[in-house]
Amino acid sequence: MNIMAKPEFAIRERVLTTLDSVCASEALRKSKRMRELLRYLVQESIERPGEPVTAEAIAASVFNRTNGFDAIDDPIVRTTVSRLRAALATYYEQEACEDEIEIRIPRGGYMPEFLPRMAKLPKRDRWEWLRANLWILNVASAVVALAALAIALSLGTDACRP
């Protein structure tokens, strides 16, 4: 459910806080164009909820393409929005920890959705987990070695003779 269906002040503030977090993220840090596009789309959806944004409006406002822009001949809006969707997915998979709201741009349109989400830790790779929990492996190895030693000692020295 898109929470902007009820655009209360508190929700708007949370959306704008999330927007700032996303724009400051590693996923969007290197692309000024994608940050500007995301800011434009979010602002449009807040100021004009329910009204669709056209590729022509995006091209004029974000990419300064006003004279005779044709979305069929010039794919800049489509390709940049596609890259933005991928960057948002990366952000929410790897970086978003405290965000209460997820900004998502569904395929087939340009208007973002704002979805509530549970805060979760970013996904860590298994090597990172292994380095963080190396002591568990050390203890487990020591227990196995001590068990093998105890078994060998309980069998006595006769078990070792031919």
Q: What is the pLDDT of residues 130-140, one digit of tens each?
A: 677 777 778 88
Assign domain 3-116 one CATH number from 1.20.950, 1.10.10, 1.20.120, 1.10.287.
1.10.10
Domains of the chain by residue range: 3-116, 126-160
Give the pLDDT band of residue 82 (cuts 50, 70, 90): very high
Query: If DSSP states are collapsed to H, E and C, what string results for 56-94?
Result: HHHHHHHCCCCCCCCCCCCCHHHHHHHHHHHHHHHHHHH
Scan for tokens 């969007």, then name that residue.
28
Question: Which pLDDT does position 116 carry in this prediction?
Answer: 87
Distances, alpha carbon 89 to alpha carbons 33, 70, 106, in Å: 17, 28, 12
* Other CB atoms within 10 A of residue 106 CB: 11
Question: Which pLDDT does position 65 carry in this prediction?
Answer: 84
Distances, alpha carbon 96 to alpha carbons 3, 18, 19, 148, in Å: 19, 9, 11, 46
pLDDT tens-digit profile of 23-75? Answer: 998 888 889 999 999 999 999 998 888 888 888 889 888 888 877 787 778 88
Distance of CA 8 to the CA centre of its chain: 25
DSSP H helical ranges for the chain: 9-23, 32-47, 55-62, 76-94, 126-132, 134-155
User: Does the structure show a pLDDT above 90 at 97?
Assistant: no
Give the pLDDT band of residue 157 (cuts 50, 70, 90): low
Q: State the amino acid at position 142 in one-letter form.
A: A
